[in-house]
Amino acid sequence: MPASTTPTTTAEIRSAFLKFFEDRGCKLFPSSSLIPDDPSLLLANAGMNQFKPYYQGKKTMHEIGATSCQKCVRTNDIDIIGCDGRHASFFEMLGNFSFGGVSKEQACRWALELSTEVFGLPKDRLHFTVFTDDDETHDIWRSLGVAEDHISRLGEDDNFWAAGPTGPCGPCSEIYYDMGEDVGCGRPDCAPGCDCDRFLEYWNLVFTQFDRQEDGSMPELPHRNLDTGMGLERMSAIMQGKTSFFDSDIMQGLIKLGEEISGAAYVSDDYEGPSRSLRIIADHARSVDFMISDGILPSNEGRGYVLRRLLRRAVFHGRLLGVSGAFLTRFIDRVNELMGDAYPELVKNATLVKGIVSAEEERFSQTLDNGRVYLDEALSKLAEGETLPGSAAFMLHDTFGFPVDLTVEIAEGAGHAVDIEGFNREMEAQRERARANVKGDAWGTFNDVWTELSDTLAPTEFCGYDADELEGARVLAIVRDGERVERADAGEAVEVVLDRTPFYAEMGGQVGDTGVLSSGDFSASVSDTKAHNGIYAHVAHVEKGPLAEGDVVSATVDHHRRELLRRNHTATHLLDAALKEVLGEHVNQAGSLVTPERLRFDFTHFEAVTADELARIEELVNREIFAAKPVVTQEMGIDEAKAAGAVALFGEKYGDRVRVVSVGTEERPFSRELCGGTHARNTAEVGLFRIVSESSTGANVRRIEAVTSEGAIAFLEDRARLLAESASALKCRVDEVPARIASLQKDLHAVEQKLKAALTGGASDAMASAIQGAVDLGAYRLVVAELPGLEASDLRSAWDTVRQKIEGPVACVLASVTSKGTPALIAAGTDEAVAAGFKAGAIIKQIAPLVGGGGGGRPNMAQAGGKNAAGIADALAAARTALGA
């Protein structure tokens, strides 16, 4: 065990590691978001992710290297989480990185120094692996005093690290801590790399020195880079004298909560049953908290799906532990208590995270209930002891989100096994389909023409904030059907790259500009503008040609359309601010679309926005418009912008310099957002703001669609036209429409009442003949009849009529086809009839299946519905027979 002065808690270890490297000249970087900058990488999964541009030589660093503690999510091993002491979906990776500034020898020396001197780990407990032919690293460890029998050589699988099939990669050297002979498998050949828990790998030093090519060759990179990653929770376990990741302080804080909630007891070396479930809940709850607070929302694809899956697994394991109610938000609170100091974003977004978690948990509970109905039905169709087919288990998994473990558990309870192999086959086929859709890896793959262009050309200079026309723009590239071409002729559809442009490329929800590119003999209409990694593509149709690379053209944006876009974009900011003011600070933008015709704004909120709230929101926005406030745009540093209170998009990435768009006074702006879009110069230009609709786009995300200026007028005109048409149809003045409708409704109601009375009262033919047909059963008289045109609720009135018209003990069985085309049945009897043996509930129960339904009730009154109206005659005949009529 390490000495007591050494860092022991997770927080102490984190600080000690970062300080060690900062003291040695490395620049401290905060963890990047779990949403990576790299579009082809789903989730941050290694410390090196945020340094990718440095490895690629696109960015350079003055310091000798960098250090960070990175939030990571990895779910490739999701099935084994909880089954050992080493795997988790969420973990913190401590790292140091260098792009030519730190030698291999220095990196190894530091790793050894930190391990033995700062963490106080005994050298004889440390084991080192090196890549098969990496004599250099072997010799370095030897020169640092590591014994020969503490160094082993492992092959490509273990000791060569590549973030993807091509790109920077290199041999690595891993450092293991020997947990002691009594831990682990006990086999004589147990050594680093063994699957058991004895040798715990806590640090991976990757010497990123090659650049693997498509053809497999590996030329050296310009620099000998370094990328090291230490698992923080693993180090905590070591420093706290534990053998398992899950027995370290933070994880134990979560597992204890699981014990409290479920009453289950955690056993550190039990890797099945309740202990496994407790680990899974603790781990997944952390992932869920960090993912949502970084801006990921549950969905059915991409990272949203990873989140949903983790959240559902946690809930499901809660159920396995016998927890029936919602419990996950308690874990969010506990994660925040344990980790909020290191990650303030957790505390800041707690309300939002908990709102999303509880709504999702509730939905999933519903899913579990629905899946249960499907499963019970599937099981009821099986013969005794028959196996549930894999396809049914897959269907439950895929359609109902019903975890297979749960299917197995319930099926076993009913005496059936589940064809797991069949299930796995279906899963594998699905994975194959998914794989085919996913490109990319930790490095991402950018090998299309736009990657090439963004690698070789400077980013397009956007000059369109104030102007919408520009002369003298140079054509830097022309792309046709995904290939770079030198010229374009009349009639061709191409994408044109200019050095500078006034065209806004689709970004931040604002759609791309349209307009015209032209020069002497050339002209092309631009139908859209898109950005690819800073390079703007003008999607153009060449009307007069040719156009060649190097040509100089004028670029003219469709002015009117752009003005409409400016107004709608500014209105979006006003709406965002008004939503926060009326609904609360948990409102965060979850998506937006700014088009010339309208704007659409998606935001986090847990229930429908009421009509009253919508009216207040609209009023607030219009008040800002009528106050004719200037819209001010400033460029500043990101930190300065945040300090000035600018709203940053939840989960969005920003560069060092940002644009800040403010409405209102400097000291008390109504709205202040980071935004690269084009805006009105003054709120008055927006003219008028009208909300057109409010709806839901999924759990916890609401959508508002709105119109401004000309769009708002068109909307109001349309409404006015509809109102005028309504008035004319109602033959009244516009201001009389509501009263006229109310009076028509009153008349209609009166007519309906009369009709009902006619149908159910004794005066109707059907009723009269039903009463006439009453059969005398001795103890009471019985009416069995079908009465057309009645709703289920009317059958009770019909029974009242029967009772009034027939004196003495009486009972009935009546049926009708409702206006929906479904059958309705009623059976009822007076107290005397019931005393004489009539049982309404029993009769209904017996005959309802004949109309495809079920039902029951008390002896004196029972009702049923069904699916099959054609069965009414049979049902009534069965009633007669049963009652002896």
Binding site for ligand SER (CB under 6 A): 46-48, 95, 161, 204, 206, 227-229
Core vs surface per residue 176-205: b (16+ CB within 10 A) or e: bbbbeeebbeeeeebebbeeebbbbbbbbb
Query: How are the residues of the chain apportioned to helix, strand and coil, as percentages rounded to the nearest 5?
Result: 40, 25, 35
Closest distance between ligand SER and the C-beta of residue 208, in Å? 8
CA 200 to the chain's CA centroid: 34
Smallest separation (angstroms) from ligand SER to the CB of 48: 5
CA distance 95 to 68: 5
Q: Least distance to ligand SER from the beta carbon of 138, Å?
A: 19
CB of 284 to ligand SER, least distance (A): 21
Min dist. Cβ of residue 224 to ligand SER (A): 15
At residue 685, φ and ψ (nearest 5 deg) are -60, -25
Dist CA 83 CA 102 (whole Å): 38
What is the chain's length?
A: 885
Q: Which is nearer to ligand SER, 51 or 290 (CB)?
A: 51
What does the alpha-carbon distance between residue 322 and residue 274 come to, in Å, rounded to a whole number? Answer: 10
Nearer to ligand SER, 88 or 476 (CB): 88
Q: Least Å distance between CB 107 and ligand SER?
A: 11
Q: Where are the alpha helices (DSSP H) in 144-263?
A: 156-159, 232-239, 249-262
Q: Which residues contact 548 (CB under 8 A, 6 or more apart)?
A: 475, 478, 486, 487, 488
| Nearer to ligand SER (CB atom), residue 206 or residue 297 | 206
| C-alpha to C-alpha distance for 217 and 210, rounded to whole angstroms | 9
Taking the C-alpha atoms of residue 827 and residue 204, their distance in angstroms, rounded to an integer, is 77
User: Measured from the CB atom, is 95 or 355 closer to ligand SER?
Assistant: 95
Report whether the peptide linkage leading into residue 168 is cis, meaning its omega lies within 30 degrees of zero. no
For residue 314 the two structure tokens come to: 């946690």
Cα Rg, the chain, nearest whole Å: 36
DSSP alpha helices (H): ranges in 343-419? 344-348, 350-380, 390-400, 404-413
Sort residue 420 into left (φ over 0), alpha (ψ -120 to 50) or beta: alpha
Closest CA to 545 of 512, 518, 579, 580: 518
Residue 21 Cβ vs ligand SER, minimum distance, rounded to whole Å: 13
Q: How far is the CB of 440 from ligand SER (least distance, A)?
A: 16
In the complex with ligand SER, the residue whose CB is nearer, 48 or 840, is 48
- For residue 74, the one-letter residue type is R
Pick 166 or 228: Cβ nearer ligand SER: 228
* Block residue for tokens 């891993």: 174
As measured in angstroms, the least distance from the Cβ of 72 to ligand SER is 8
CB nearer to ligand SER: give 225 or 336.
225
Cβ atoms of 222 and 57 within 8 Å: the answer is yes
Residue 468: left (phi > 0), alpha (psi -120 to 50), or beta? alpha
Output the six-digit token pair for 571.
């209105």
Nearer to ligand SER, 72 or 151 (CB): 72
Residue 111 or 475 with smaller CB distance to ligand SER: 111
> Which of 227, 624 has the CB closer to ligand SER?
227
Distance CA 111, CA 204 (A): 10
Please say which residue, 47 or 515, places its beta carbon nearer to ligand SER. 47
Cβ contacts of 3 within 8 Å, gap of 6 or more: 120
Quote the least distance from Cβ 47 to ligand SER, whole Å. 5
How near is the Cβ of 227 to ligand SER at its closest, in Å? 5
Q: How far is the CB of 577 from ligand SER (least distance, A)?
A: 41
The CB-nearest residue to ligand SER is 229
Using an 8 Å Cβ cutoff, are 289 and 348 in contact? Answer: no
| Token pair 């002497």 in the structure block, residue | 520
Query: In this complex, which beta carbon is closest to ligand SER, that of residue 95 or of residue 509?
Result: 95
